[in-house]
Amino acid sequence: MNEEHLLIAKSNISTTRKTFWWSLGISTALELSFMITDLEALLFVGFFYLLMAILFNFIVFLNNIIFICLHKEARIPLLRHTLLLLLNIPIAYLYLFILFY
């Protein structure tokens, strides 16, 4: 793998890691804020945040899948971080379960 592809792989890994942590942090803050305040406006904010987060996470996910398919040398680290990104899905379901039950 040449140096340019290595830099792109590192950038993808960094972006994926940041996307995971920001998505998790914001969703946790919204969930806790709603549980503490019971303010229904937070439900609407959370819903629109969820739509935007799904779109952004999906774009990052597709970017990683394409890069994994094209550059086999960086496959393992990118795949690990892509799976990390996918952990947001069960966490979102857990938050919805807590919210509605």
pLDDT reported for residue 62: 95
The 10s digit of each residue's pLDDT in 6-15 is 888 889 999 9
Composition of the chain by helix, strand, coil, percent to 5: 90, 0, 10
**46 contacts 34 by C-beta, under 8 angstroms:** yes
Element (H, E) at 42: helix 41-70
CA atoms within 13 A on the CB side of 6: 3
- In this prediction the pTM is 0.86
Torsion of CA 41, 45, 48, 50, to 10 degrees: -120
